[in-house]
Chains A and B, each alone.
Chain A
Amino acid sequence: MDTIAMEAIYMTSLRWLHVIAGIIWIGLLYYFNFVQTPSFPKLEGGSRRDAFVNLVPTALWWFRWAALVTVLAGAAWMVSYGVGLGNSGGWAEYVDTAKFKSILSGAILGTIMMLNVWLIIWPNQKKIIQANTDGEAPDPAWVGAAGQASRTNTLLSIPMLFFMIASAHGTWLWGAIV
């Protein structure tokens, strides 16, 4: 297999890993915000505890690892493209394109979202799960902090997805620079 074919396989694999992990991440983010959060208060104590012990940890496992994989695969793709793989002209040419400016805007939002997952949502959710496992009521401060960071991510998700997609389908946004 020649180098160009190997490069294409590598770049395509990274892109698809980024997209699939991104779908899992944002899909679960919307599940937490639009399905779980409004539904859990309606569950009875025993059912809610069961859900926290058996369902939430699995959902959060996929959620946090998908977030990390999405960001790492995306960053690896950008760096690879920047250094000249995937038939690019290297950094000097790449940074001046609408494609780069758009994907960078999305990447900044995505990175903030990933950090919110790993450094605010997950640490607080761990304490909430532990409290439920022990049969205790979780501290409202943990619930508040995790919930607010999760809603912040929902807030950032629409612009993030817009700029990610705009890198291929919205170069008009950046005026004459295409």
Chain B
Amino acid sequence: MSVLLLLIAAAAAPGPAPRSPAMRASMDTRCETCHSVGGWTKVTFDHSKTGFPLEGRHVSTSCRACHGSSQDFTEPVATSCAACHRDVHLGEFGNRCSSCHDPSSWASRFGPDAHRLTNFPLTGRHAAIPCEECHLNQRDRRFTRSTVDCYTCHQADYARTVGTAIDHLRAGFGTDCRSCHFPTRFKGATFPAHNACFQITGGPHAGISCLDCHSSLASFTPTGTCTTNTADCMRCHACSRETTSHANVGGFQCKNRKCYECHTFTPGAGVAPSRAGVRR
């Protein structure tokens, strides 16, 4: 009789707790998990549970385009991009397309920031030039290129200085462009040896073009003796104003050479006056 009572009580008790969605999905066929009353063909399956979340254009791709003739979708499908998409790079970058391509359009999202994860970080102007300027091969869409020194690509720019005010060849400048030039543009270069005479890598004269100070460098040959005699301080510093401000300086003369005899702007040496009165 006790057994009977237990059976009766069990019959009257509430049913078992509902199973978890995952259990239901794996153990029985619940059409509403994927289908709706809108129609059998309008399927809403949570593909992210498979480990391959559908993003971008994959959302609107038909199931059969990837799963082929599989009737129950349990047949494994390769998840690499190359399993469905043609690799126009001939395998150069392996099968991880998503590191460069957007799944919504295939448009490349590889940019100057991403280029930093290569052997050649794009700095200065290199960050805003067409890719083809360096990666010439259009047929194979290859992007490997030797990381060469500046001169290899910029030979023509070096040669272009011949006959100009700063003839690199005549001045005996080397081909290590990086020691003087910034990657933004060739003009506005620094000349580290210049600091021994007059500091231009820092201080108030940083970034000034050579010919903003020097009246001519046509016959310039660096000797290290600070005697080009072409620096034209008076171009920016008006004599009338400097004479007034130097009224108490013994031996002051309003001559170019006299200026940089005192004002070398080299850290720890010379005088660094205020910039008041500078005419730019």
- Chain A complexes with chain B: no
* Chain B contact residues, CB within 8 Å of chain A: none
